[in-house]
Each structure stands twice: as structure tokens, then as C-alpha cells.
């Protein structure tokens, strides 16, 4: 029987993070061999599935219908990790990065509905894997562009050597970031400084249905998002009728917009994003008060690149908290919810937990226990929000830096209890559901294994990314250390009102 020792994970994680300020990036803390293997497998997803001709990473695998620009941002973040861990050479990584940045720098932009990758410096949510043009009628996405740009800026700071290729990486990163017109994306109709979710060249056209199953964050407003705001006409096209307001992954959008050297937004945009924070403050199903956002990805994405430990803005100073501790508390709340298990789902417990946006068995209804239950395909899942018994490894593993004492044991428990069915060449598949084990109902996606339940068949780039990145931040603080040196990140944090901690010496 595999022994799961929470104290060892806590001690190892604390030692790794405590040493990260002084230790060189190649100094690695000792970890369970499985976690090292898992990180290597997850890195391999990005290295092997990305199109080497243009650097575009598929949204999912093994069925890669299109590129997700957010997946590209995570891929760009993974490549230097591969260098530091010895999985690829620095030369190999910088050439892959250079290929990617050359593509995004040279790809056509403009208001046309077809044949372009983006407009006003932003990029479309999904792109064709081959030529890189807009996929079908997807939206120009501010958050997915931000995730792409975060990976680009990480490479800008990491590849700091005199080699001409590294100099070109830095130059292209500056050009791509500098072209993003963040102020254009602010809400024009309501004259608000809030930044919109996206734009489409088809004027007044509603957001399209997601490809089925959905393969990235849904195009509807994020969970706990403010109500829609009306939009006026736009001669060039139409903004989606939602803005980034309320605590969510939009944090990375605003920090990059505030730090822009060319098209920055004013600090009142940060205040607009925080306007509804108090409505989500509370226990949120856990033992400690924190800002709530149900699916774990909202607590993870900005932290992949930014070290929020010990730095605070005005809101967090008022709560005597920082955003890192907030995400730690959200992680503890997820586990507490699984232990309570109000839905009576099979498998939930102290070491098997994790709700976020992920794949699922299908949009079907079936009796379970003493009630009829709704199951979902791809959906944003959270405590009390579309919880259908589906668990996603990325919810726990992408939170490793926040609470290793519970996330490490969760990883080992998933391997022990389900690894034969959910662990493959690229690490854990996206999701599984022990409760979906019905003789009379086949899943729409993935497969049912009698006695085990439903298991997915796909790896998703936006879920693989936090695993490889946050395992590294837990082990060495590597991404955080590199990004502390990026002047754009520092400028964005300061303009948002952050002070204290490592920012004082930046």
C-alpha cells in the first residue's frame, strides 16, 4: 500500500519555497519520484504535440481540432522548465520559442472575419493548427491573449544571453506585447474602464456555441461574473457583452494592461475589476475566509507567472491577506468540500478532490442514488456549480505551490486508485468520474470502465499548463524568480497599487 505522508510534502514544499529567493534556478528540491516523472510527462505534451513549423499548440490531444493561444502561452512557459530540468537543450528550446514568436509577430492582423490571426494586437481564441488563421467564428479573446503574452514575457526574461537568437526573442516579445491595444478593449458603450472579454468582427453577432465538447474556457461569462452590460453598435464589429469584473483569472489581463509600454490602461481599470469583490468574500465552503471563485483555474492562472507572496494591493491590505494566501485558502476549501461531499459522489474524500473547468462524460440526465442528476460535457465545475462527480487532476496539481501538504497526497492517491486508467504518456488525462458507472447509459465522450466509472480520453493544454508550471514553482520558484525581473510585470503590479515583499527590491 502506498503511504501518503502530508507532513513530508509540507516540509519539502516549504523548504523549496523558502530557499527560492537565494537558490540558483538549477537548484532543485527533492520530490517524490512520481511527481518528477509526472512533470516530465506533462512537459512532453507541449514539446511533442506543438506544430514545430509555427509553434502552435493544440487545444487538446489526441484530437487536435485547433490551436488554443492560451495553450501556446503555457507551452512557452514549459520550454524553459524543460531546459532547467534537462529534458531539452537551451538551443532546442530557444529555437522552438523563436519559431513561435516569429509566427505571432508576422501573422496578419486586421478587422477582416477570415484570413487573420487577430486584431489590434489581440489574437483569436482558437487558430487553425496549420496556417494559423482564425478558427471558424471564435472571438478575439482578451484573457487568452493575456495568457499567451505572459508566456512570451517569461521567455523574454529567461532568454537573456548574448546569442543572436536570444536577442531576437527579446525583441519579438517586446514587439508582440507592445502591439496589444489594451485601451481599445475597454468597455466603450458603458464608458467604463473595465476590460471586455472579447470582440468579433461580425457586428452584433452573439457568441457562438463552443465546439463540442468545449475545449477551453467557455465563451459565456465566467463563474461569479458580474451581470452582462449592454454594448452599443461598433462600426468595426461587436464587443462581447461582458467585461472582466469580480475576482477571477482576469487579474492577469489587468496586470498586463497596466504594465503595457504602449497602450496602458489607467489604474481605475484595476478598481473596476475589484468593484464586486466584497460579494464573493467569505468562507466559500472552506475553513478560512477568502475571495471566492468556484473553479480552481481562476485561482491558479495568474499565479503561474506572478509571485504574489508578500505583496498586496489596497484591497488585500484591507483584508490583511495576499492573493497567494487567498488561493491557498481556496485550495483548502476544495478539499473540505470533497470531504463533506454533499452530493454523495463516489470517490470524493480527503485525498481525492478537485473541481475546475474540464471535460466530462456528456450532457445527459440519469438517476444516481435517490435523485435524478445532470451530468455535463466540458463545463466549469465548482462546489455547488455543475458538480456532477467529475474530478480534474489539474485542480489539485495546479495548486501544488499553494498547499503541497494536501495536493501532493492527492496526486499520489489518483495514481494509486486510478492510475491504470488515467495516467498516460502525457501525464494525467483531463478528467474522470467514478460515479458515472451506468450499465444502461454510455458516455458521449471518453469511455466507461465497469467498476471504475468514466475516464476521459483527452489532454487539454490549458489544464496541462498549470500542472507543469506550478509543480516547478513549488519545487524551485523558478518561473516566479524569472518574472520578478521583467519590467513590464513590475510596472503593472506597481500601477495596480501593489507594495511590499520582493517588489521593494525590484
- pLDDT per residue as tens digits for the range 249-258: 999 999 999 9
Residue 231 maps to a domain: yes
How many domains does the chain fold into? 1
User: Cell 469584473, residue?
Assistant: 245
- 267-280: per-residue pLDDT in tens? 999 999 999 999 99
Q: Kindly report the pTM of this predicted structure.
A: 0.90
In a domain, 362, yes or no: yes
Residue 433: inside a domain = yes
User: Residue 506's pLDDT band (boundaries 50, 70, 90)?
Assistant: confident
Give, as one character, the DSSP assignment of residue 407.
H
Per-residue pLDDT tens over the stretch 379-404: 999 999 999 999 999 999 999 999 99
CA dihedral over 55, 57, 61, 66, signed as positive or negative:
negative
| 3-state percent breakdown (helix, strand, coil) of the chain, nearest 5 | 40, 15, 45
Query: How distant, in Å, are the alpha carbons of 72, 403, 473, 482 from that of 479?
Result: 16, 18, 6, 5
Band of residue 108 on the pLDDT scale cut at 50, 70, 90 = very high
- What backbone torsions phi and psi does residue 432 show, to the nearest 5 degrees? -150, 160
β-strand partners of 304: none
* DSSP-derived secondary structure letter, 427: E
Asked whether the CA dihedral 404, 89, 70, 458 is positive or negative, the reply is: negative
1 inside domain = no
Reported as a single tens digit per residue, the pLDDT across 126-167 is 999 999 999 999 999 999 999 999 999 999 999 999 999 999
Domain that holds residue 500: 6-505
Task: Compute the distance between CA of residue 104 and CA of residue 252 in angstroms, rounded to an integer.
Answer: 20
Between 2-6, 127-131, 194-198, 433-437, the lowest mean confidence (pLDDT) is in 2-6
| Average pLDDT value for residue range 192-213 | 69
Tell me if 414 is assigned to some domain: yes
Read off the DSSP letter of residue 57. P
Q: Is 465 helix (H, G, I), strand (E, B) or coil?
A: helix
Contact in structure between 106 and 176 (CB atoms under 8 Å): no
Cα dihedral across residues 72, 48, 467, 382: positive or negative: positive
Interatomic CA distance for residues 56 and 148, integer angstroms? 11
Residue 485 lies in a domain: yes
CA R_g for the chain? 21
pLDDT of residue 221: 34
Does 109 reside within a domain?
yes
Q: What are phi and psi of 157, to 5 degrees?
A: -80, -30
**What is the per-residue pLDDT for 454?**
98
In this predicted structure, the answer to whether residue 241 has a pLDDT above a threshold of 80 is: yes
Domain assignment present for residue 185? The answer is yes
Domain CATH code at residue 386: 1.50.10.140
CB 310 within 8 A of CB 500: yes
Pairwise CA distance, residues 315 & 323, whole Å = 10
- What is the percent of the chain with per-residue pLDDT over 90, rounded to a whole number? 83
CB 357 within 8 A of CB 378: yes
User: Three-class SS of residue 101?
Assistant: helix
Amino acid at each position: 500500500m502506498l503511504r501518503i505522508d502530508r507532513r513530508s510534502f509540507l516540509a519539502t514544499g516549504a523548504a523549496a519555497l523558502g530557499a527560492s529567493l537565494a537558490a540558483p534556478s538549477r537548484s532543485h528540491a527533492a520530490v517524490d519520484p512520481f511527481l518528477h516523472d509526472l512533470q516530465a510527462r506533462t512537459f512532453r505534451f507541449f514539446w511533442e504535440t506543438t506544430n514545430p513549423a509555427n509553434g502552435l499548440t493544440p487545444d487538446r490531444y489526441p484530437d487536435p481540432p485547433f490551436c488554443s493561444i492560451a495553450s501556446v502561452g503555457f507551452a512557452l512557459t514549459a520550454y524553459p522548465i524543460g531546459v532547467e530540468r534537462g529534458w531539452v537543450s537551451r538551443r532546442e528550446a530557444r529555437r522552438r520559442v523563436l519559431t513561435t514568436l516569429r509566427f505571432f509577430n508576422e501573422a496578419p492582423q486586421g478587422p477582416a472575419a477570415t484570413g487573420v490571426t487577430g486584431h489590434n494586437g489581440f489574437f483569436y481564441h482558437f487558430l487553425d493548427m496549420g496556417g494559423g488563421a482564425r478558427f471558424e467564428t471564435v472571438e478575439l479573446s482578451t484573457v487568452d491573449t493575456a495568457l499567451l503574452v505572459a508566456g512570451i514575457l517569461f521567455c523574454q526574461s529567461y532568454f537573456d544571453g548574448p546569442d543572436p537568437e536570444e536577442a531576437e526573442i527579446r525583441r519579438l516579445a517586446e514587439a508582440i506585447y507592445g502591439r496589444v491595444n489594451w485601451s481599445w478593449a475597454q468597455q466603450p458603450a458603458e464608458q467604463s474602464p473595465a476590460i471586455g472579454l472579447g470582440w468579433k468582427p461580425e457586428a452584433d453577432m452573439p457568441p457562438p456555441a463552443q465546439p463540442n465538447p468545449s475545449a477551453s474556457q467557455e465563451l459565456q461569462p465566467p463563474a461569479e461574473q458580474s451581470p452582462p452590460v449592454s454594448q452599443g453598435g461598433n462600426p468595426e464589429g461587436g464587443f462581447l457583452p461582458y467585461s472582466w469584473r469580480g475576482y477571477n483569472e482576469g487579474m492577469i489581463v489587468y496586470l498586463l494592461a497596466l504594465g503595457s509600454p504602449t497602450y496602458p490602461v489607467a489604474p481605475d481599470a484595476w478598481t473596476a475589476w475589484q468593484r464586486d469583490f466584497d460579494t464573493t468574500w467569505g468562507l466559500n465552503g472552506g475553513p478560512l475566509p477568502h475571495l471566492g471563485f468556484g473553479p480552481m483555474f481562476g485561482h491558479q492562472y495568474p499565479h503561474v507567472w506572478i509571485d504574489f507572496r508578500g505583496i498586496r494591493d489596497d484591497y488585500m491590505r484591507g483584508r490583511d491577506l495576499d492573493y497567494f494566501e487567498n488561493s491557498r485558502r481556496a485550495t483548502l476549501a476544495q478539499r473540505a468540500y470533497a470531504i463533506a461531499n454533499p452530493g454523495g459522489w463516489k470517490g470524493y474524500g480527503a485525498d481525492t478532490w478537485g473541481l475546475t473547468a474540464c471535460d466530462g462524460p456528456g450532457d445527459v440526465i440519469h438517476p444516481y442514488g435517490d435523485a435524478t442528476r445532470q451530468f455535463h460535457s466540458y463545463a466549469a465545475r465548482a462546489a455547488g456549480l455543475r458538480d456532477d462527480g467529475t474530478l480534474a487532476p489539474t485542480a489539485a496539481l495546479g495548486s501544488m505551490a499553494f498547499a503541497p501538504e494536501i495536493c501532493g497526497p492527492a496526486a499520489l492517491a489518483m495514481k494509486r486508485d486510478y492510475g491504470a486508467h488515467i495516467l498516460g504518456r502525457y501525464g494525467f488525462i483531463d478528467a474522470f468520474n467514478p460515479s458515472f458507472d451506468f450499465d444502461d447509459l454510455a458516455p458521449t465522450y471518453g469511455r466507461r470502465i465497469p467498476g471504475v466509472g468514466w475516464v476521459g480520453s483527452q489532454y487539454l493544454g490549458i489544464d496541462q499548463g498549470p500542472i507543469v508550471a506550478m509543480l516547478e514553482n513549488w519545487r524551485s520558484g523558478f518561473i516566479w524568480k524569472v518574472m520578478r525581473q521583467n519590467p513590464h510585470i513590475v510596472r503593472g503590479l506597481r500601477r495596480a497599487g501593489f507594495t511590499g515583499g520582493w517588489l521593494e527590491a525590484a
